[in-house]
């Protein structure tokens, strides 16, 4: 349900987004990539979230709509690897 919700937010914010990217937001369990203790509502909101706290640094996952914009601007095509 929440994965579907964030996919809907992303598709509304980023016009002309490829349907495969929207489907990816519906499939990928964002909670598997975040620091424990973050609420599920925060995980599936359109905001950056911490993924790891180190002694002198913090790692984050970008807000989903920003990630979708990156994917759109990268003009990803099926079969292209990184």
- 45 an active-site residue? no
CA 62 to chain centre: 7
From the list 39, 59, 62, 65, the catalytic residue is 62
The per-residue DSSP string of 57-77 comes to -EEEE--HHHHHHHHHHTT--
Kindly list the catalytic residues. Answer: 62
């Amino acid at each position: 349900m929440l994965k579907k919700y964030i996919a809907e937010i992303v598709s509304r914010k980023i016009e002309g987004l490829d349907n495969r990217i929207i489907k990816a937001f519906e499939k990928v369990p964002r909670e598997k990539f975040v620091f424990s203790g973050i609420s599920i509502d925060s995980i599936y909101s359109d905001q950056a979230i911490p993924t790891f706290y180190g002694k002198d640094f913090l790692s984050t996952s970008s807000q989903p709509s920003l990630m979708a914009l990156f994917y759109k601007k990268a003009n990803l095509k099926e079969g292209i690897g990184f």
